[in-house]
Amino acid sequence: MNKKLLASSVLFLAVIMFLSFSTKAFAMTPVLSLAGTGDGDSVQLNVTGDPNASVILFYTKNGAGPQMPSIGTTNANGTLTTTISSSGYGVVVGSSVYIKTGGITGTQSATIAWPAVASMLSSSNMLSLSQTGLVLTLGQSATVTASNLNSSSLYLSTNSNPVIANFSASGSQITVTGISYGTTTGTFCLINNNANCGSIYVIVQNSSAQPLTFSQSSVSISSGQTIAIQISGGSGIYSVLNNNSGIVTTGISGSTISLTTTGTTGSSSITVCSTDMQSCGIINVTIGTANSLSAVSFSQSAPTMTVGQSLNISIFGPTNSLLYVASNSNPSIVQANISGNTLSLLGIGNGSSIVNVCVSASNCGSLTVTINSNSSNGGNLVLSQESIYLSTGQTGNITISGGSMPYNILSNANNIVQPNLNGNVLSLYGLSTGTSLMNVCSASGNCATLSVNVNVTNTTSTLPAGCSSTAGYSLTTGQLCSTISTSATTLPTGCLSATGYSQTTGQLCSSIPAVAVAIPTDCTGTLYSISTGQACPASTVNTTPVVTPTPAVITPTVPTPTPEVTTSTASTVFKFTKTLNLGSKGAEVSKLQQKLKTLGFYTGKIDGGFGVATEKAVKAFQKAHKLTQVGSVGPLTRALLNK
């Protein structure tokens, strides 16, 4: 008995499954046909398929993408006839549509094209609005003008969010008033043709919000052209909130919005907002009919460069017109200048920038420049000095190493210093007082910063002995020229001039005070005061012997003058004439060593051999005089030694 019951159950299930699969297998493929009704908007849909089956329409909505609304159910005979508004549904004319019966996973019909029911509307009689986007504050009103009314009247077809803004029409004028914060879209149509419509997208924001601003808020673009516009204001990142037309595509990178035309005629209002939705703005775009041959274009539209590299881009199209750089989205990345029909680019830092070049507001072109750093080539760039001090009219040299040649100067205050590059040697000529910071870069993209300070040359008629200016050190005393007094009229005791050493005391004349106003009381025929040890004036010295304390107790230690110091100033000053460097030998090297020793830069032997000690002394001398420390005696060093 149980076996019979089990067999019956299996048979029953098999029948059910068969019927189910049979029903599925023999489901009728639906048929869809479309026909315009003649009013320029309505389309009749005729469906034939399975009886009592739901019908879903699959189509593409203008500006919104794929849609799949239910349009009804077939009757017992498997047919459905209905009419829908082409503009109300927003069906793209000529796009492919189809239906499915029996739900979203049901049977699909063949695809057919949506009829061009609004083809009777040409550009000359299409309703046109002066603005299709508005940004208002609470309580603010704005007026939009409609044209191409064709002796008809406007009516408000839809207001997507009536609590946000109020729309009213009077003749050709549409008044929009902000009521509360948010967004809404108002659609106006002609009374005698409900397919001839236009929409206004409205944002109502807080009155305290600052509206966004644009480098161009109303632009005319040629068909197929791309331009870049700079956005400022607001906070956070920016986004396109509304673009009510399919004729312009948008893209945002940072604070730059790029607009590319996809149509040949028409207009669009593009609403851009910051992420906090507190700051918005409108860009109005008109598609012009300019000849594409006159549009701005470039020999390279997306050049890639390295830091420090220069590149010239040819500009094509316009002739006998003044081109200009309308915008540069990131001037810290690339420097852009125009000369004639050539765009000169200079890479400054890593990154990318959109450069927009125009011949007029309606004729522009843009290119994206990418700057990369290739630090692996040649290693770090090194300067022999990171800062240099010059006088006006003075020249100094900087040696560059590392990186890869050729080297370039990227920035410089040209009115302060004049740079000149010769291989890896940078010559700097002081022009006027001031400070200049310049970036010296190699071809591989490595850079180093050089600080140049230029001071006015001292023009005083009387300079301290051994000084050519107030800068540097005296050639005769080794002291800073700025600390040596030039106004003394009375020379120190034993000094024939303000230079050299006292013949009485052996001290540097520049460091001995002038003759004291009060003569020590115990200066009676002695060279030195017993009480103070100070040298007595020559007028108090006589030949009468006097009794003095033991010299070891009362006589000051007197330095023994060197032979050169005690030589009469009437002797001929030696003039250096040769280039001297490491390895040089001879009498002129001996004179150099003697000179440097006198000035306090050399402490070695006077042996006439230019060794490491002599080289070190020359570098110290050059450093004291703000020269490049090369360690050899060339024209500039020789000139200072001969003063």
Cα–Cα distances in Å, from 398 out to 107, 135, 392, 427? 82, 58, 17, 6
At 131 the pLDDT is 82
Residue range 4-15: mean pLDDT, rounded = 53
Cα distance between residue 216 and residue 273, in whole Å: 16
pLDDT in tens, 451-498: 888 886 543 335 666 666 666 666 666 666 665 544 333 566 666 666
Peptide bond into 211 cis (omega under 30): no
Q: Residue 595 is inside which H or E element, if any?
A: helix 587-598
- Worst-scoring range by mean pLDDT, 369-383, 439-453, 487-501? 487-501
Give the confidence band of 168 by pLDDT, cuts at 50, 70, 90.
very high
Q: End-to-end CA distance of the chain, in Å?
A: 136
Cα distance between residue 294 and residue 321, in whole Å: 11
If you average pLDDT over each of 309-318, 399-408, 428-437, which comes out highest? Answer: 428-437
At 553 the pLDDT is 42
Q: Do 382-455 and 30-113 fall under one CATH topology? A: yes
Give the confidence band of 371 by pLDDT, cuts at 50, 70, 90.
confident
Cα distance between residue 472 and residue 450, in whole Å: 21
Mean per-residue pLDDT over the chain, rounded: 75
pLDDT in tens, 94-113: 567 899 998 888 889 988 87
Fold of the 128-205 domain: Immunoglobulin-like (2.60.40)
At 28 the pLDDT is 85
Q: Residue 1 has which token pair?
A: 């008995």
pLDDT in tens, 61-78: 755 567 889 999 999 999
Is the model more confident about 258 or about 594? 594
pLDDT surpassing 80 at residue 235: no
How many helices (H) does the chain have, and how many strands (E)?
A: 7, 41
Instruction: For the domain covering 382-455, report its CATH number.
Output: 2.60.40.1080
Q: What SS3 class is residue 93?
A: coil
At 88 the pLDDT is 76
Cα angle: 290, vertex 296, 297; to 5 degrees: 125
Sheet arrangement for strand 218-221: 218-221, 280-287, 266-274, 238-243
In the CATH scheme, what architecture does the domain 292-372 have?
Sandwich (2.60)
pLDDT in tens, 202-215: 888 876 666 787 77
- Worst-scoring range by mean pLDDT, 321-335, 354-368, 393-407? 354-368
Looking only at the bridges linking them, the beta strands covering 324-328 and 107-108 are unpaired
Radius of gyration of the CA atoms of the chain, in A = 47
Q: What SS3 class is residue 31?
A: strand
What are the DSSP E strand ranges found in 489-637?
A: none
At 488 the pLDDT is 36
Residue range 28-51: mean pLDDT, rounded = 84
Is the model more confident about 166 or about 635? 166
- Closest to 643 in 3D by CA, of 395, 475, 510: 475
- Note the pTM of the prediction, 2 decimals: 0.34
pLDDT surpassing 60 at residue 220: yes
At 365 the pLDDT is 81
At 273 the pLDDT is 85
Contact between 642 and 576 under an 8 Å Cβ cutoff? The reply is yes
What percentage of residues in the chain have a pLDDT greater than 90?
16
Give one word for 77, left, alpha or beta, with left for phi > 0 and alpha for psi -120 to 50. alpha
pLDDT surpassing 60 at residue 353: yes
Residue range 604-632: mean pLDDT, rounded = 91
The CATH class, in words, for 30-113 is: mainly beta
pLDDT surpassing 70 at residue 585: yes
**Largest Cα–Cα separation, the chain:** 166
Is the model more confident about 580 or about 409? 580
Contact between 49 and 28 under an 8 Å Cβ cutoff? The reply is yes
Q: What are phi and psi of 12, to 5 degrees?
A: -65, -45
pLDDT surpassing 60 at residue 579: yes
Angle between helices 587-598 and 612-624 (to 10 degrees): 50
The CATH class, in words, for 587-641 is: mainly alpha
At 364 the pLDDT is 79
pLDDT in tens, 255-270: 788 888 776 777 788 8
pLDDT surpassing 50 at residue 194: yes
Q: Give the type of residue at 179.
A: I
Cα–Cα distances in Å, from 151 out to 189, 193, 202? 13, 12, 27
Q: Give the type of residue at 129.
A: L
Give the confidence band of 632 by pLDDT, cuts at 50, 70, 90.
very high
Contact between 582 and 631 under an 8 Å Cβ cutoff? The reply is yes
Sequence ranges of the domains in the chain: 30-113, 128-205, 213-287, 292-372, 382-455, 587-641
The CATH class, in words, for 213-287 is: mainly beta
Give the confidence band of 542 by pLDDT, cuts at 50, 70, 90.
very low
At 592 the pLDDT is 93
Give the confidence band of 132 by pLDDT, cuts at 50, 70, 90.
confident
Is the model more confident about 515 or about 258? 258
Give the confidence band of 315 by pLDDT, cuts at 50, 70, 90.
confident
